[in-house]
Amino acid sequence: MRSVLVTGANRGIGLALVRQLAARGDHVIATCRQGSEALTATGARVESPIDVGDAAALAALAKRLDGTRIDQLWLNAGVLERDALGKIDAQGFDGVRRQIEVNALGPLRVAQALLDRLGCGSKIAIITSRMGSIGDNDSGGYYGYRASKAAVNAIGKSLAVDLAPHGVTVLLLHPGYVATDMVGGHGDISPATAAERMIAVVDRSGIEQSGSFLHSNGSALPW
């Protein structure tokens, strides 16, 4: 049985990932800051409260998982705050820092805390965004979100290089424009569709694709 851990699992894309991974028979460990009835209903092992910015909580989680190999590590937890040039006050800059803390440093903290749980053949899927693409940015704005996703792309690429000798694959995945609470329910696809597509990408990808920045439809995205 494959063992899978998903962060930010209580709603949206994270919840959809947990539902589908559990439904196909994987042993799913779902982490989140606050649980939900919907998450409990999946039958996954729920670890809460887990904040990806809390190093002590992650260290404690690693201890509880002692002896558990993680075959797929889905780093999904994230936040989005809107900021516009000329209107970024002190509170706005706090929001920029918060997005970098959660969206960029969070995945690195989790990956490092659970490093000993990974082995040859394990896969790390970082849920990023094409909004972190510098080459694709033709609309500006969203300074904190764009910066945090560009940073996690760089972090993911370094993880791919560092973990290649250990046979661990690292993928950077843009789920698409997904209708979640984060974007006010707007979007082109549902969380379930995004999850299904990304699971398929991860399942078929190997060490040769490690470090790739991919759309959930499988196409490569510009850095």
User: How confident is the model over 46-101, as pLDDT tens digits?
Assistant: 999 999 999 999 999 999 999 899 999 999 999 999 999 999 999 999 999 999 99
Mean pLDDT, range 36-42, rounded to an integer: 96
Active site residues: 145
Per-residue confidence (pLDDT) for residue 184, from 0 to 100: 67
Residues in the chain: 223
% of residues, the chain, pLDDT over 90: 92
Average pLDDT, the chain: 95
Per-residue confidence (pLDDT) for residue 187, from 0 to 100: 67
pTM: 0.95
% of residues, the chain, pLDDT over 70: 97
Q: Phi and psi at residue 136, in whole multiples of 5°? A: -95, 0
Question: Is the pLDDT reported for residue 167 higher than 80?
Answer: yes
Per-residue confidence (pLDDT) for residue 188, from 0 to 100: 78
Tokens for 175, please give them: 């789920």
Mean pLDDT, range 95-122, rounded to an integer: 98
